[in-house]
Amino acid sequence: MASLLVDPAMRVFAICAGILVLKMLLTANLTGILRTSRRVFASPEDYRFFGAEPVAQPDEQIERIRRAHRNDLENILPFLVIGFLYAMTGPSYTVAWWLFVSFTVARLLHTAVYIAGLQPWRTVFFGIGSIALYAMTLIVVVRLI
Amino acid sequence: MASLLVDPAMRVFAICAGILVLKMLLTANLTGILRTSRRVFASPEDYRFFGAEPVAQPDEQIERIRRAHRNDLENILPFLVIGFLYAMTGPSYTVAWWLFVSFTVARLLHTAVYIAGLQPWRTVFFGIGSIALYAMTLIVVVRLI
Amino acid sequence: MASLLVDPAMRVFAICAGILVLKMLLTANLTGILRTSRRVFASPEDYRFFGAEPVAQPDEQIERIRRAHRNDLENILPFLVIGFLYAMTGPSYTVAWWLFVSFTVARLLHTAVYIAGLQPWRTVFFGIGSIALYAMTLIVVVRLI
């Protein structure tokens, strides 16, 4: 294994990164499953392929999952690089562990409460993830300038 | 060159990452070319700048390319980090080569058949890319836990 | 600090990556602030939580910021990985500095002129960022093939 992954903070980062990407892949699969079972598609060839009548109105549950997924693109994807750079700055293991794990747990719960439509919890978990990501990003910039 | 890129699996990963980002940049350019030639824009200042009459209805061909592009954001961008972490776990070169190349070819074909509107091929190539990405992600998590 | 970050080109990359992710996080916050102050939300539970009347029409200023943000997903996120791989190929420090800084400045200005609705400046700064990203990606592929 490459020496980078031997570092304990990098190891926690890589596990968190993997868990969050699995979550994103499952979110994509959930969209696909709902599209097929509800017969609401984005492209005309899908209606033809499934022999379904085109639906003019988007399905609210599917759009909700797509909003959760886009929110992941805006937050989890930057984390996948910033978390790595942060782990390379040689942070305290305890601080790194807390930042990685709180970001990961907050983003898992964000998807769950987004799909369930629970406010203010969606904003709370978005906020926790956001604060962790701001903290890591600021540490990277400040330590390297 | 940094020692990481000397590793053969990492080298294949970096070439695949580059090819896929080139593909994404070309997809963005295609959207821009179609927007300009068909005079269908997303912002009012673009209509003013090109002296074109604002169009209320989005253009189906442009929206199709934007859907393909969003699907890239959801799949290629996570790969750019997971593929790197996977290459760092010291995988078998043969397995890594197959996972990287099948993901890359599947994603190139996914865009082609998405733009051409060919089903079930779009789902087939999405599925192949998805399986390769699931496999790499699971290997990263399992090897590091 | 991990040896990778000791490399001067990698250091400039990491600072640019941090600045661009801060910019993206601020863009997300701006969307949230506007949604709350204008009471235009994406989900029904938000209207209930804020006791606001659901609005059928999306807010043009909010949609504009979301378009700028999506453009970031399409450009900044690939840069976060390609810039890293490019820095690992052992580039000339001067060339790397120019590519990283021109990409970063162009993307900061892109958001500013997108929000202000200024054409042709939005296209100009998109173009500069795009050329820098094409250049880095091509260098990675050509140097590794």
Q: Give tens-digit pLDDT for A13-27.
A: 999 999 999 999 999
Regions in chain C scoring below 50 on pLDDT: none
- Do B46 and C119 count as a contact with CB atoms less than 8 A apart? yes
Q: Which domains does chain A have, with CATH numbers?
A: 3-144 (1.20.120.550)
Distance in angstroms (rounded) separating the CA atoms of residues A31 and C63: 23
Distance in angstroms (rounded) separating the CA atoms of residues C128 and C144: 25
pLDDT of amino acid A117 = 95
> Closest Cα to residue A78, out of B27, C20, C87?
C20
Contact partners for chain B, using 3 or more CB pairs closer than 8 A, are: A, C
DSSP C58: P
Residues of B in contact with C74 (CB under 8 A): 24, 28, 69, 73
What pLDDT, in 10s, does the model give residues B42-77? Answer: 999 999 999 999 998 899 999 999 999 999 999 999
CA distance B18 to chain C (A): 5
ipTM confidence: 0.96
Distance in angstroms (rounded) separating the CA atoms of residues B17 and A140: 24
The pTM is what? 0.97
Q: What angle do CA A22, A26, A28 make, to 5 degrees?
A: 120
Chain B residues 27-86 with CB within 8 Å of chain C: 28-29, 42-46, 48-49, 69, 73, 77, 80-81, 84
For residue A54, what are the CA distances in angstroms to A40, B119, C60?
7, 16, 28
pLDDT of amino acid C4 = 86
Structure tokens at B28: 């963005």
- Do C7 and B4 count as a contact with CB atoms less than 8 A apart? no
pLDDT of amino acid A1 = 63
Regions in chain B scoring below 50 on pLDDT: none
Contact predicate A114/A122, CB 8 Å: yes
- Alpha carbons within 13 A on the beta-carbon side of C145: 9
In the predicted structure, residue A29 carries a pLDDT above the cut 90: yes
> Residue with structure tokens 């099948």?
B102
What pLDDT, in 10s, does the model give residues A92-143? Answer: 999 999 999 999 999 999 999 999 999 999 999 999 999 999 999 999 999 9
